Amino acid sequence: MTQDAGRVAAKRINDHVEVIHVDHPDVVLEVPRRDWEAFTAAVKSGAYDLDVLPRVAEESAA
């Protein structure tokens, strides 16, 4: 995974996985369990940047 992967925690909850950014614990991304492998592959390939999580949360709050 990218360097940012060390700054997130993942917690499995029934039908989804919650990805929580350590620097912004109020930012939670819910990934359906059926999409988990595709999500981790996207992060590993660099197609998905985990630093997007805090920015998206800030934009949503505005």
For the stretch 18-33, pLDDT in tens is: 988 887 788 788 999 9
pTM over 0.85, yes/no: no
For the stretch 1-60, pLDDT in tens is: 344 455 788 899 999 999 888 877 887 889 999 999 998 888 888 888 777 776 766 776
Q: How far is CA 34 from CA 13, 14, 61, in A?
A: 12, 11, 28
* Predicted pLDDT of residue 2: 41
Smallest Cα–Cα separation from 45: which of 6, 4, 8, 1?
A: 1
